[in-house]
Amino acid sequence: MSYERYRALGVERRDRVLLISFNRPEAMNTITAELHRELSEIFADVARDAETQAVVLTGKGPAFSAGGDLRWFQKMTAADLDALFTEARKIIVDFLEVEQPIIAAVNGAATGLGATLALFSDVIFASDAARIGDPHVRIGVVAGDGGAIIWPWLVGAARAKEFLMTGDLLSAEDAHRIGLVNHVVPAEQLLPKALGLAERLANGPIQAIRGTKVSVNKILRETVNLVLDTSLALEKLCFATQDHREAVNAFLEKRAPKFTGR
């Protein structure tokens, strides 16, 4: 399997482990149209990759991924919006179809879709400097691209609704305390720890490991079937609201938004 066509994602093979990195370090690895398209394609490639037995997902630079690039949202056409939501569904479905273990190494801010992909990973390591949250509501849209699926499974419905409705971010320690992440480690140990587990799994009883993952992921796949189409449709509707436009403009103008509920 060749990954040469990917640009917004960095892909590096380390024996039987594939290291995938969000590759916009100059912009906190925020997600542009190009990066979103690549995310909608790469996990299907990984699933077909006979050389890869485990994956580590991380970010280059100081962030894991700080979610969507609001400048992209500001310029989005109707055709762009249709493509966005077609890709958004494919990202989550393809991610859960990857049989190889996926280890997240959350090196910094993980918000929005960045947080979603980290939390859908099979084991999550976080740097002690990481912050995690899903602030979709802060830009006036539903947490539609997976947050409404994975947060309740990890922390329960009440905590999930609190953090999804407020968009508040958690420190790595708080995320660990409530069960969002598996391990918190010093920043310099993050990638070695994540790669160490990936290498252990890649060199373990592969069929047993994959079968175990597939079995547990059936739970998440059923939740995807129940929730994802609804949450994405509701999020898409929000892109036409005054509150969303106000939130994006306020962020780019560095002022507090004034929401009206319209």
Q: Where are the domains of the chain?
A: 9-202
Q: What is the pLDDT of residue 167?
A: 97
Assign 182 a pLDDT band (cuts: 50, 70, 90). very high
Q: What gap in Å lies between CA 66 and CA 59, rounded to an integer?
A: 10
pLDDT the model gives residue 156: 98
Task: With cut-offs at 50, 70 and 90, classify the pLDDT of residue 225.
Answer: very high
Mean pLDDT of the chain: 97
Residue percentage of the chain with pLDDT more than 90: 98
Rounded Cα distance, 155 and 179, in Å = 6
> pLDDT tens digits, residue range 136-168?
999 999 999 999 999 999 999 999 999 999 999
* Confidence category of residue 77, pLDDT binned at 50, 70, 90: very high
Q: What is the pLDDT of residues 15-58, one digit of tens each?
A: 999 999 999 999 999 999 999 999 999 999 999 999 999 999 99
- Answer for the pair 67, 111: CB distance below 8 angstroms, yes or no: yes
pLDDT score recorded for residue 28: 98
Q: What Cα–Cα distance (Å) separates residue 42 from each residue in 46, 70, 117?
A: 6, 23, 13
For 225-251, what is the mean pLDDT? 97
Q: What is the structure's pLDDT at 109? A: 98
- Torsion angle, CA of 193/95/173/11, rounded to 10 degrees? 40
CATH code for the part of the protein at 9-202: 3.90.226.10
Helix, strand or coil for residue 91?
A: helix
Confidence bin at 236 (pLDDT 50/70/90) = very high
Helix, strand or coil, per DSSP, at residue 4: coil
What is the arithmetic mean of pLDDT over 209-219? Answer: 98
d(CA 106, CA 110): 7
In this prediction, residue 2 has a pLDDT band, given cuts at 50, 70 and 90, of: very high
Beta strands 170-171 and 131-133, pairing class: antiparallel
